[in-house]
Structure 1
Amino acid sequence: MDDRPDVTSAPAEGPDDQEVVALYALVAERLKQAHARVHALNVSADAKTALTRQLLIVTETAKRDLPEAARRLSRFVHDLDEGPPPLD
């Protein structure tokens, strides 16, 4: 007897709520844009590394708490919009 689950009758994995899917897509696109902005900054490599780490934290947060990740990303982008990060 085969103990493997029947994958033909198992529900598809992942979010099926269209709002959640849309939020994932929005956060993913905004993360991509934020990474591009950080890459283009005229700051030290250490400053870019620190900013990239912050974006990686947002990425990890999105895996567990998508609304919180969206809030963190909004704050990050707002801070970038306010001006250049402090130089080390």
Structure 2
Amino acid sequence: MGHDGQLQLYTAVANQLKEAHSRVRALQVPEGVRMALTRKLLVITAAAKHDLADAARRLDRFMVDLDEGRFSEEDH
């Protein structure tokens, strides 16, 4: 992937992470669920430092699960 493509992917992942964190904060769920979701986002953020493409895929799956309401304290 060229420099421009890498920069675009980084920007997209950063923007999607910001959106995901905002959505998690806004959820009306028990605090344990919110904490588990936040931990998942932190893991994805850390992964982005080493493998941006993998982090983007993981974040996409996270957002789909969030959209479909698939989350619980036991997920983590």
Q: Same fold (TM over 0.5)?
A: yes
Alpha-carbon distance in 1 for matches of 2:72, 2:54: 25
Identity of counterpart residues, as a percentage?
Answer: 49
Moved over 3 A (4+): none
Unaligned runs of 5+ in 1: 1-15
C-alpha deviation, 1:27, in angstroms: 0.1
SS of equivalent to 2:62 = helix
Q: What is the TM-score with the length of structure 2 in the denominator?
A: 0.89
Instruction: Give the total of aligned pairs.
Output: 73
How far does residue 87 in structure 1 lie from its aligned partner after superposition? 6.2
* Residue pair 1:38, 1:51 contacting (<8 A) in 2 also: yes
Q: CA RMSD in A?
A: 1.6
Structure 1 residue 58: deviation in Å?
0.4
Structure 2 CA distance, aligned partners of 1:22 and 1:84?
29
Deviates more, 1:16-25 or 1:38-47: 16-25
Q: Is the 8 A contact 2:36 2:73 kept in 1?
A: no
Runs of 5+ unmatched residues, structure 2: none
Counterpart CA distance in 2 for 1:86 and 1:58 is: 18
Alpha-carbon contact 1:43-1:87 (below 8 Å) kept:
no
Residue 86 of structure 1 deviates from its aligned partner by 3.2
